[in-house]
C-alpha cells in the first residue's frame, strides 16, 4: 500500500498565475502512477487564480477543501466554499479565483484521464 501526503510531493508545479499544484496520483513516476485517473491538491494563495482554460479529453471534478472560490464555468459564475463540488466536462472553459484576501483556497481535482499538458488549452490560444 502506498500512502501519499502533500508534503511528499518533492516538486509541486508552480503555475504562472500563482497556483501551487501537488500531483498526488497521475502520470508522474514520482507519485502514485495511474493510467486512468489523476488526483491533484491545489493551493491558491490570496489574490491568485488559474487562467481560463479547457480540455478536449479530460473530465475534472473540483472539491473545495477550504477557503472561498469564485468559479467560472462557460461564463456562468458561482461562489464555492468547503464541501462544494463541481463537474467540468470537455470542452467547458473554466477558471477559479481565490475570493479571499487573507486565506488560501485549497481544493482537490480528480481528472480522467490523468492531467496532461497536452490537453491543457488556454483560451488566449497559447
CATH number at residue 67: 2.60.120.10
Q: How far is CA 54 from the centre of its chain?
A: 12
In a domain, 6, yes or no: no
In a domain, 45, yes or no: yes
- Each residue's pLDDT tens digit, 11-40: 888 888 899 999 988 876 566 778 799 999
| Model confidence, pTM | 0.92
pLDDT at 26: 86
In a domain, 25, yes or no: yes
Average pLDDT over residues 73-101: 98
Relative to beta strand 20-26, strand 32-33 is parallel
| Total domains present in the chain | 1
In a domain, 71, yes or no: yes
Nearest residue to 21 via CA among 30, 8, 12: 12
- Each residue's pLDDT tens digit, 88-115: 999 999 999 999 999 999 999 999 999 8
Nearest residue to 4 via CA among 34, 19, 20, 24: 24
In sequence order, the 6+-apart residues with CB closer than 8 A to the CB of 108 are 39, 40, 41, 42, 62, 63, 65
In a domain, 1, yes or no: no
pLDDT at 31: 66
Range of the domain at 31: 11-122
In a domain, 4, yes or no: no
Amino acid at each position: 500500500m502506498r500512502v501519499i501526503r502533500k508534503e511528499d510531493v518533492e516538486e509541486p508545479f508552480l503555475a504562472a498565475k500563482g497556483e501551487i499544484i501537488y500531483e498526488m496520483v497521475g502520470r508522474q513516476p514520482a507519485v502514485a502512477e495511474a493510467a486512468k485517473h489523476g488526483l491533484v491538491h491545489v493551493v491558491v494563495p490570496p489574490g491568485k487564480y488559474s487562467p481560463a482554460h479547457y480540455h478536449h479529453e479530460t473530465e475534472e471534478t473540483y472539491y473545495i477543501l477550504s477557503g472561498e472560490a469564485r468559479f467560472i464555468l462557460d461564463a456562468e459564475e458561482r461562489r464555492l466554499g468547503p464541501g462544494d463540488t463541481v463537474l467540468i466536462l470537455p470542452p467547458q472553459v473554466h477558471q477559479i479565483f481565490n475570493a479571499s484576501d487573507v486565506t488560501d483556497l485549497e481544493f482537490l481535482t480528480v481528472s480522467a484521464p490523468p492531467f496532461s499538458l497536452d490537453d491543457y488549452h488556454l483560451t488566449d490560444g497559447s
